[in-house]
Amino acid sequence: MVAGHSAGGQLALWSAARHRLPPSCSWHGKPAIGAVVALAALSDLGEAFTAGLGDGAAARLLDGRAELLGLTDPVRLLPLAPGTRLALVHGVRDRLVPVDMSRRFAARAGAVLTEIQDAGHFALIDPLSAAWPAVTRALAPAGRQEAAGVPHLAGRARPGPAMVTTTR
């Protein structure tokens, strides 16, 4: 299992999609990741690049080279390998990475998206926040299933009072 927050979420998603890269690319890899949990992830690097999210962080990551988006953008590398469990968690009040990015990615990937109504960008990595139980619920099934070697495609975080689980 891999998990990541924000730019780390982009890296986690990308890691699970490396099998989609051209075999001639030095970053190409065999499908080896059983589960991904992406927290407020930059799941559409192209959108982040174009919109200048994070004060241009995506453009800096790619050294301004938009032509690299085909090799680095998780949404462009879908689908993930069959059997890969994918869960996304995003705060509705996130002002750094718009929750709509995760909504579109979840719809395109057929993934579980847990939206935390009263959470911003950093609440997802704060164990003292009200959002933390939703994060641990997303992480727990992924870890258990991967440890057992069983793909877990139907797992859902159970909604709490401040969140909505959307399945697409």
Model pLDDT for residues 93-152, shown as the tens digit of each residue: 999 999 999 999 999 999 989 999 999 999 999 999 999 999 999 998 765 544 445 343
In this predicted structure, the answer to whether residue 40 has a pLDDT above a threshold of 60 is: yes
Q: How far apart are alpha carbons 97 and 103 in whole angstroms?
A: 12
In this predicted structure, the answer to whether residue 90 has a pLDDT above a threshold of 90 is: yes
Identify whether the C-beta of residue 36 lies closer than 8 Å to the C-beta of residue 2: yes
Q: What is the dihedral of CA 115, 155, 151, 40, to 10 degrees?
A: 10
In this prediction, residue 165 has a pLDDT band, given cuts at 50, 70 and 90, of: low
In this predicted structure, the answer to whether residue 74 has a pLDDT above a threshold of 90 is: yes
pTM of the entire predicted model:
0.83
**pLDDT on residue 103:** 98
Q: How far apart are alpha carbons 161 and 139 in whole angstroms?
A: 19
**pLDDT on residue 150:** 38
Q: Does 23 sit behind a cis peptide bond, omega within 30 degrees of 0 on the bond before it? A: no
Identify whether the C-beta of residue 62 lies closer than 8 Å to the C-beta of residue 113: no
**pLDDT on residue 31:** 84
